[in-house]
Structure 1
Amino acid sequence: QVGELPTWTTDAAAVAEALLGGGALREVEDGYPLAGGYALHLQERDGRRYFGLGERTGFLDKKGRRWLNWTADAFEQQPKDDPLYQAHPFVIAFDGGRARGVYLDESWKSLFDLAARESGRSRIAVEGPTFDLWLVPGPEPAAVLERFTALVGRPWLPPLWALGYHQCRWSYPDEAAVREVLAGFREHDLPLSALWLDIDYMDGYRVFTFSPHRFPDPPRLVRELAEAGVRVVTIVDPGVKKEAGYSVYESGRKIDAFVKNRREEELVGEVWPKPAVWPDFSRPEVRRWWGEQHRPLVEAGVAGIWNDMNEPAAFAVEGDEVFGIGKTLPSDARHGERLHAEVHNLYGLLMSRATHEGLVHLREGRRPFVLTRSGFSGIQRYAWVWTGDNGSYWEHMAMSVPMLLNLGLSGVAFCGADIGGFRGDADGELLARWTWLGAFYPFMRNHSAKTSRRQEPWAFGEPWLGHVRAAIRFRYQLIPYLYSLAEEAARTGQPLMRPLFYHFPGDPEAAAIDDQFLLGPDLLAAP
């Protein structure tokens, strides 16, 4: 138990003395067996607020709820759902105009009860056998982020095109559909930086392939788009189809690349491909092998990779439908000497690392671009993040602001939400207002599901097309400013989207505002 957080300082000895010498830290009996988990109890004060924890539903201030760190495939997410796709066991405690960070450096499932069960006490608990805690001094929020990202890593400076407008749908299923969308942007005089291909571009959901019938000449198609100034980004999931003769599976099997079950056999399940196996990204040789598998995509001219379903999600395992949080692999699955219970939260980060390092090698001299759904603290070293399968609801548009702000306060400078909503049907006004909001996101992408109404910028005609066009054009006016902020993020770890208290910590009302934000220090967005 900690009676009170000390006055935080960069002097480690002073912090240790305040905690240990002052008697603030003491062991208590919790009823659990030794090495069966640890918990830290913090005495609370009324004015303290908590921020961070990655992408979360709810308000900007995370106090008053219990938050689980366990990456989950959160399809059809609702305003109170938890957990979601990312696990970030890091909070910024803020009170009296002063900020300090608390980072639980543990990949096991963990819980942050922030004065939820007891208003006067918070609890940080982990299911694993160790409890490594970092205390990150401020006192300014910017100082906390600079020191925290010095520990867990900072993003690369992105390619300039990544800061533009992106168009996606599940799916543009063939070359004709892709050309039709490109023609729509030309016809309606709309700028476009990247067009994305979802899972239906593949040959039977075999990763690193194109359908020979629907995409017979990928290099030619990519060249056509490049001539129009448009890059192509393709989705790559971790599930590998278990099929004799399929080169990705066969080459992975030769190096024993896949996660095992308790009998030390390949763990076989179902996701989009059926049957499927999952690479063990905890092993460096598997990450190198996975990076090399991107060669055919890179040689076709693909400019970026989109990692999805990497919590990892599973529809079934060894013949049984998967239940429980997030529908994932069994906790006793084997990653070498480690159990999946320890590796699970790191799976998306390690896949993104393999993808990032593969692109650095294969596209030598060009900056890599990777987007991921799942991740852990430090994911910004390898990938950008989006908030997953939201819906075409005004509430989800509003909730995107605190979600992205807390991702930024967790070190993830480059992030965005699906503009227009992924599930459900947008209308003209929702799309127009969301596109204007999205013009201020670090990552600006319109994305929707195949069961949803089409929502390309021209989908609802005038007057909405004019409003959407104005928002997209405004985004391109912002790019010099965004690029300056991107350089600052790469150098110091500062987020692009910032809550008001970030620059005005002395204002007692600023920390409660989650429907306004700053883009960098100089531009206020009040949607």
Structure 2
Amino acid sequence: MPIIERELFGFKLSSDSAPKVGDSITSFTLATPSSGPYNNLTYTLSFPLPNVYRILLTGPDRPRPPHDNVILTSKPLEFKLTSLDTKACKAIFDFPSTEASDQFDGTGRKRELHLTWSEHLLIYVYEEVGGKKVRILGDLPNRAYALTEHGIMRHWWAEPDNLHLGLGEKAAPLDLSNRSFSMHGSDSAAYDAYNTDPLYKHTPYLISSPKPTEEGQELVSTYAIYHPTNSGGVWDVRREHDDPWGFFKTYRQDWGGLEEWVLVGKGVKEIVRTFAEIVGRPRLVGRDWLGYLASGMGLGETDKPPAQELLSEWPNLCKEHDIPCSAMHLSSGYTVDPKTGNRYVFTMNKDRYPDFKGMVAHFHKSGIKVVPNIKPYALQSHPHYERLHGEDALFYDPIMKGSVVTRIWSSGVGDNEKGSWVDMTSKEGRQWWAEGVKSLIDLGCDGMWDDNNEFYLHDDEFVCKSDMPKSFSSPSTEAGTVGLHGRMINTELMNYVSHTELSKANPERRTYVLTRSGNVGTFKYACSTWSGDNWTSWHNLRGSQAIQLNAGMSLMQSYGSDIGGFGGPLPTPEMFVRWVQLGVTHSRFCIHSFKPDKNDPSGSAATNTPWMYPEVLPIIRETIKWRYEYLPFFNSLMWESHINATPSTAWLGYGEFASDPALYTDEVLSGFDAWLGPGSILVAPALFEGELSRQVYFPKFSAKDTSLYFDLHAPYGKYKAGTKTTVATPLEHFGLFAREGAVIPVGKRYQTVTQKKGPSRTTTDGVDVVLESEGGVVGLDDWRGVKIFPSTERSTYEGRWTEDDGISANPGKTVVSVKYKGGKDEVEVEIKFEEHDFDTLWGKTVAVLLPIGDNRVVKGGKEGVWEGRKVWNVQVKGGN
């Protein structure tokens, strides 16, 4: 059935509170009469930031959506009323000008907001571009705001050629234009990376950015629209067409009043940074979670031999195959009840795991962290179910007058039984979750894997307690419907409790919470996520790259996909290699799968492992070791994400490259290339079967940009920005090109610790990592190199990277700056400590690596050798 839509009109400006032209005000409010079809609706405009305006439209039956998705607490800024016509119901406002204006925006342009309410509410935003006043964005005339049964519908004018990005975790391709998307999360197991919607996240945040069509074109600003609600809804991005309005953009929010934030800035980079000011920057990820993350789903499901016996062989298998490994994900097989075969969270299968704590300590000795899978529901046969039911910790069904009971995944593929989701908005539900998390921490676990947490309750009228922690900003304190509160407030609270318990148990350590689902507020507590239960295919491998890029621009910046595919058939050797090659360039690199093979009782064929195909093991090994070599670079990129909200894996048009028209062609936009560290390394993966060569375009930041790109693989060619060429992509490697001027810190090609003594070396259960000098496989992080890429034209380049211990909750950090200049016969390099609050094991010596084949001398450097390559050891200036 069609949505009933009632257009809004009848708003008035109270003469008693009407501001005068020239006044500086902090809000502008309109209201409807206290009687009539739209009684007591209030519409308020304010400016939380110099480049952000906020609309709040509420009424008696349209309360402000309860949420904790905004961290910005500063008072609204003053803005100026420059024009007011009360008869025509029109007003013009200047965007507020403050010292921070350029910091958030970067354009220095004057902007105006035009508001009319004579017949319908209507907003347009204009700015001066090239001496002319140009419209950036605007509402759809005569149809901008409408009421639905329980919520609000919004319509905007749709720019015909803009690029649309964001919305969190959405199916490929990258450009979201001309498609519709559901605003809620679902357990989308075996999804199609190009067609399935929704996936697992809830992120009502859409970016709209103009496309340059010619060199040197001056563009209007980029903008984004964000609705902090947790309520479900739909974003339609210029797919609908209706005469007389033509094409337009629509957001339909199922429940509650409207809270709308509109962000305006110079390109996507400034929008992402501003969004982080509103909702919070990504959490800093621990260093150990940046290496190869393994999964024991297949191994952990076995009874004969017991799963603990198989899993305990993992460190030995890694050593045997010379594969470094940083963490093991324990799937929920450890919770399987021996009698029923069902999974009961926070219980232990003693037959499979007779000494769970001892197994964790065994992993710790090999430098492998352990993170167990936990799920926020209980089957009716769960031993804790009666407690949860008796303490009123389950959702309430007002029709059936009892706890909500539904079908929930219980055991194998497609298996389900009756059970209940635990209401995390209740104190009792959170207390139960906290006790369960604490029990796993006591067994030595290093983090929590919050899984199966979409809370996909099927009726909006179900009731939740809404008894929130004091730290939450949600205005609702009474029990309310799931429709109004949104399902994923529970996901956020689940992650909140996991994070809080980890922090309480080990306050000196950075918490690690991995979540499958999430709203925007979730990532205040979870520092990592992934694209869920993908299906093994070349098609889905390709689609994973676009999902990765939009997730990063939505502040999910420690993100990846299940390497090799979670469900479906085993990947072919070629597909597995290509997936690993792509995966090592993402901020989260995890090989994870569920591929049961009933003909293999050992379970070894039930999970993707690096050594499952001996014929390609040398390639897999080399690729994983490349990841560890570049681990200092990834660690620094995570700092950049944490401080400046910069995604480590970024769209090619991110930042200074946004003006390159070639990046907006269908060929490039629908392709798979990306930045690893914007402006540092161009990643050009091979994602088609048998693709042994492919064309690559090298982005430029201006018409005059002739910077070089250095091929990091043989034949180590050089290519100019703005050109396109065919490069080799044999199975042994993918396309990887460092941009001229890049500064890439590198380390050892295996796992290392940053301290001889301390939390980096000693785990929470008091177990010391066994070092290679003691017969183990883990080394000390006592060598640092930096790869630089100078031309021969004496251009000067600057860059920096950040070091820390990788584990502390409040780490001291060391920032190393590099300045270099290339000449015909020599390269000048200066390395300094900008900050020096963490004493690195590598001290004050950095090995400078020039591109392979570059025989120039590094002035002042001492010649040496590393991994068979010539290096130039340079002393770092400054420091303690």
What amino acid is aligned across from residue 331 of structure 1 in structure 2?
D
Q: Distance in 1 between matches of 2:153 and 2:672?
A: 34
Task: Provide the residue aligned with 1:322 in structure 2.
Answer: none
Find the counterpart in structure 1 of residue 460 from structure 2. Answer: 331
- Cα shift readout 1:24-77 (whole Å, capped 9, x = no counterpart): 458846997666332221112222110001111121010010111121111221
Q: What's the secondary structure of 2:582's corresponding residue? A: helix
Counterpart residue type for residue 115 of structure 1: R
Describe the SS at the equivalent of 1:524.
strand
Deviation string for 1:368-390 (max 9, x for gaps)?
Answer: 11111111123322221110111
Equivalent-residue separation in structure 2 for 1:250 and 1:55 (angstroms): 36
Q: Which residue of 1 aligns with 2:634?
A: 482
Counterpart among 266, 289, 311 of residue 403 in structure 2: 266
2:20 is aligned with 1:20: no
Deviation at 1:123, TM superposition (A): 1.1
* SS in structure 2 of the partner of residue 349 of structure 1: helix
Equivalent residue number for residue 433 of structure 1? 578
2:157 to 8, 21, 43: 43
1:153 to 280, 283, 290: 280
Q: Is the 8 A contact 1:36 1:129 kept in 2?
A: yes
Match of 2:271 in 1: 144
Aligned partners of 2:373, 2:406: CA distance in 1, in Å?
Answer: 20
Q: Which segment drifts farther, 341-350 or 409-418?
A: 341-350
CA distance 1:17–1:80, shift in 2 (3 Å): same
Say if 1:489 and 1:496, in contact at 8 Å, map to a contact too.
Answer: yes
Aligned partner letter, 1:444: F
AA in 1 matched with 2:225:
V
Distance in 2, matches of 1:19 and 1:243, equals: 60
CA contact (8 A) 1:298 1:363 kept: no
- 1:195 corresponds to: 328
Deviations 1:246-297 (A, max 9, x none): 3x44654564322222155222334244442222112456435422321121
1:404-415 equivalences in 2 (<5 Å): 404-415=548-559
Amino acid at match of 2:367: G
Letter in 2 for 1:436: Q
Greater relative contact order (Cα 8 A, min sep 6): structure 1 or 2?
1
Q: Secondary structure at 1:201's aligned position in 2?
A: helix
Q: Name the CA distance, whole Å, in 2 between partners of 1:466 and 1:346.
A: 45
Residues 1:251 and 1:395: Cα distance change in structure 2 (over 3 Å):
same
2:346 is matched with 208
1:516 matched residue in structure 2: 673
Distance 1:397 1:260 in 2: 41
Question: 1:210, CA displacement in angstroms?
Answer: 2.0
Return the alpha-carbon distance in structure 2 between the equivalents of residues 206 and 276 of structure 1: 11
Check conservation: 1:94, 1:100, Cα contact below 8 A.
Answer: yes
What is residue 317 of structure 1 aligned with on the other side? none
8 Å contact from structure 1 (residues 169, 450) kept in 2: no
**1:364 counterpart (488, 507, 513):** 507
* SS of residue paired to 2:402: coil
Aligned residue number for residue 531 of structure 2: 387
Q: SS of the counterpart of 2:659?
A: coil
* Secondary structure, counterpart of 2:209 in structure 1: strand
Secondary structure, aligned partner of 1:162: helix
Moved more, 329-338 or 440-449: 329-338
- Equivalent residue number for residue 651 of structure 2: 499
Which segments of 5 or more consecutive residues in structure 1 lack a partner in the other structure? 2-7, 314-327
Q: Which moved more, 1:300-309 or 1:203-212?
A: 203-212
Partner of 2:51: 10
How big is the shift at 1:139?
1.3
| Alignment of 1:230 onto 2:368 | yes
RMSD: 2.5
- Give the AA of the match of 1:461: P
In structure 2, what is the equivalent of residue 104 of structure 1?
227
TM-score (norm 2): 0.55
Query: Is residue 308–residue 374 contact of structure 1 (8 Å, CA) maintained in 2?
Result: yes
SS of match in other structure, 2:250: strand
CA distance in 2, matches of 1:285, 1:128: 26
Confirm or deny: 8 A CA contact 1:264 1:334 kept in the other structure: no
Task: Flag the structure with higher helix content.
Answer: 1
What are the within-5 Å matches in structure 2 for residues 51-66 of structure 1? 51-66=165-180
Counterparts in 2 of 1:39 and 1:290: CA distance versus 1, 3 Å? same
Q: Which amino acid aligns with 1:392?
A: T
* Aligned CA distance change for structure 1 residues 363 and 252 (closer, same or farther; 3 Å): farther
Structure 2 distance, partners of 1:23, 1:235, is: 47
Q: SS of 1:93's equivalent?
A: strand
Of 158, 181, 184, 2:314 maps to: 181
Residue 485 of structure 1 contacts residue 520 of structure 1 at CA under 8 Å; is this kept in 2?
Answer: yes
2: distance between equivalents of 1:23 and 1:456? 55
Q: How does 1:289-300 map to 2 (within 5 A)?
A: 289-300=432-443
Q: Match of 1:526?
A: 684
Larger Rg: 2
Structure 1 11/377 Cα, relative in aligned 2: closer, same or farther at 3 Å? Answer: closer
- Partner of residue 219 from structure 1, selected from 357, 370, 379: 357
User: What SS does the aligned partner of 1:100 have?
Assistant: strand
Which range moved further: 155-164 or 415-424?
Answer: 155-164
Cα distance in 2 for partners of 1:51, 1:471 equals 30
Give secondary structure in 2 for the equivalent of 1:113. strand
